[in-house]
Structure 1
């Protein structure tokens, strides 16, 4: 769960074009601590998550959006309820494509297209290519 929350933090920061250093300054942290949060190495406390939501201009719930079922299943509440047995290995899952650098760069490039008609055509092209790739 910490990795997912950190990935969402990195996604939003990158979409805003903000450096780790600048984000750290805004909330009183070093860029190294921001890196640890983004990797999920350190857990983000509730008050810090609130501060991040204000600086990144998103609701707190944003950090938990699009969470994979496997990640949710690792929640201590679900473990206690028996959804995931204590002796079971944690579920493996592929990295969320929304946290990949390629995705971030693509979204940033897309929104840098100033002409709305061109942006719409790029969007339609991407959808068409995805549809073709899905049928092969």
Structure 2
């Protein structure tokens, strides 16, 4: 039997919210009264999650029910005011990095966020320039002109 797209999306949201909360499959399983293998099946969308377990999962993860249904179409209907999980990254490495960054004191976090933004802006600008046919900075001719002294390294 094929996996229903709604079950798959709810499962992906469950996984994203669990990882964002820094919770293991084992810990979530204990909170829901199931095995960690059952959590794996939920996260893959292979097994449907009973409504009572969805409520328990939302409580354990500290989110709203709408967060679990984000991206399914049901989230547009459920006007709970909860922030949707659809905007969360699905890559576990990105989620772990965000959780580690969030755990740092604000004084340490701020400079790292600024450095990250600068790095991303630089990568995006290089990609945009390359797409527009601009030369890569290392491809630019730095030969001195008009008798200027050569650049020293």
TM-score, normalised with respect to structure 2: 0.62
**More helix per residue:** 1
SS at the partner of 1:99?
A: coil
1:39 equivalenced with 2:44 (yes/no): yes
C-alpha distance in structure 1 between counterparts of 2:111 and 2:9, whole Å: 31
1:125 equivalenced with 2:115 (yes/no): yes
Partner of 2:89: 98
TM-score, normalised with respect to structure 1: 0.69
Instruction: Count residues with an aligned counterpart.
Output: 109
Contact kept in structure 2, 1:12 and 1:56, CA below 8 Å: yes
Where does the alignment leave 5 or more consecutive residues of structure 2 unmatched?
Answer: 1-5, 75-86, 127-153
Among residues 8, 24, 46, which one is paired with 2:13 in the alignment? 8
Residue 97 of structure 1 and its aligned partner are, at CA, apart by 7.4
| TM superposition outliers: structure 1 runs of 4+ over 6 Å | none
Return the structure number with greater relative CO, CA threshold 8 A, min gap 6: 1
**Residue deviations 1:72-101, cap 9 Å, x none?**
5xx9xxxxxxxxxxxxxxxxxxxx971211
Contact kept in structure 1, 2:26 and 2:36, CA below 8 Å: yes
Matches within 5 A, 1:1-136: 1-65=6-70, 67=71, 98-114=89-105, 116-136=106-126
RMSD over equivalenced CA pairs, Å: 2.2
C-alpha distance in structure 1 between counterparts of 2:49 and 2:116, whole Å: 35
- Of 22-31 and 43-52, the range deviating more from structure 2: 43-52
C-alpha distance in structure 1 between counterparts of 2:40 and 2:60, whole Å: 16
